Amino acid sequence: MTQNPYISVVIPVHNEQENLEELYTRLTGALDKLGKSYEIILTNDGSTDNSSAMLRALHERRPDQIRVIEFNGNFGQHMAIMAGFENVRGQIIITMDADLQNPPEEVGKLIAAMEAGHDVVNAYRMNRQDSLWRLKVSKWHNQLREWMMPKLKMKDEGCMLRAYRRDIVDLMASTGESSTFIPALALTYATNPAEVGVMHAERSAGTTSYNLFSLIRYNFDLVTGFSVFPLQAFTMVGLLISLCSFAFVVFLLLRRFIVGPEVEGVFTLFAIMFFFLGIVLFGLGIVGEYVGRIYQEVRKRPRFVIRHILQKDVICNPNTSSPVSMKQEEALSQVQ
């Protein structure tokens, strides 16, 4: 049995075959330089390219330090990180992307901040290198989030280069939430968080897994997971519209007595009706976002399924073609 490392780096991987070799070289280089013991946990989140075989090869190169969790499908970036969290052995846990947008050489800065006594260290990208529309969407969303959730203090919610103390990671892993936003979840448990500026690079190769639609879906996870503000906002808007329409009814009633019957303005009325119908449907959609997530949670299906874990001191499921659930996997590793 190897001794527990000091640092665990958790990396989600989805179709990153062009980046894995460089990630390996630069990350191990940067970590070796720090002179502290470490492990790297890479979760393969249902890649359809050659990532799986490449990860296996990386594990074989450094079996003591590189562990690979193989998912049985695509469960999303945050679930891939969560699976890493459930398996970490280190005291300081770093999360980062596999596409080298977070330079591995910046990890030292986060470790230094953690060693200064912080329990969560969030990085913000000083020179963000993304497409213009991504920068704009992010900026608006950061502002909206700050306004809706003032308690969640972070300059850059989209940066996944972050460091957490082990007890915070254990708390996050124990929540069992299936639609979550890890940086926000960590901040709800942190007592002494810090922010450090880091460099950001363009995607080294390959393409982003997110389009505008999936980004909107992701942001709903953040908003619905950490605030009921949208529901409260709709109650207030509904109240305001009711008051206004009451005043309008009184106004029309008075006109009926003073001016007599009127029939003009039917189309204006239609326009007003459709506008309010739009608001009602939007409100219904927001309620649906919450109800859908409640439905997901109460079904209690596993939030992800691990096919196998490649690590030195646990023999993994030999029959990789038949997937096993997390619980079975744990049982299996205990038996063998």
What residue type is 132 in one-letter code?
L
- Compute CA distances 65 → 43, 79, 100, 110, 286, whole Å: 14, 22, 19, 20, 44
| Minimum CB distance to Mg ion smaller for 129 or for 336 | 129
Shortest Å, Cβ 71 to ligand UDP? 9
Question: According to the binding rule CB under 6 A, does residue 204 interact with ligand UDP?
Answer: no
Secondary structure in 3-state letters for 90-157: CCEEEECCCCCCCCHHHHHHHHHHHHCCCCEEEEEECCCCCCHHHHHHHHHHHHHHHHHCCCCCCCCC
* Per CB under 6 A, 138 contacts ligand UDP: no
Backbone angles phi, psi at 197, to 5 degrees: -85, 135
Per the listing, tokens 């502002």 go with: 143
Kindly state whether residue 98 participates in binding ligand UDP, applying the rule CB under 6 A: yes
Contact between residue 100 and residue 26 where contact means Cβ atoms under 8 Å apart: yes
Size of the site for ligand UDP (CB under 6 A): 16
Among 149, 142, 102, CA closest to 126: 102
Out of 7, 9, 14, 303, point to the residue binding ligand UDP (CB under 6 A): 14
Quick one: what does residue 18 bind among ligand UDP, Mg ion, none, with the CB cut-off 5 to 8 Å set by partner type?
none
* CA pair distance 16, 49, nearest whole angstrom: 8
Does position 99 interact with Mg ion (CB under 5 A)? The reply is: yes
Q: Which stretch binds ligand UDP (CB under 6 A): 6-14, 149-157, 184-192, 258-266?
A: 6-14
Question: Mask of contacts with ligand UDP, 207-226, x by CB under 6 A?
Answer: -xxx----------------
**Which of Mg ion, ligand UDP, none is residue 39 near (CB under 5 to 8 Å by kind)?**
none
Contact string (CB under 6 A) for ligand UDP, positions 55-74, x = contact: -------------------x
Give the residue with the Cβ less far from Mg ion, 18 or 99: 99
Residues lying near Mg ion in the complex (CB under 5 A):
97, 99, 101
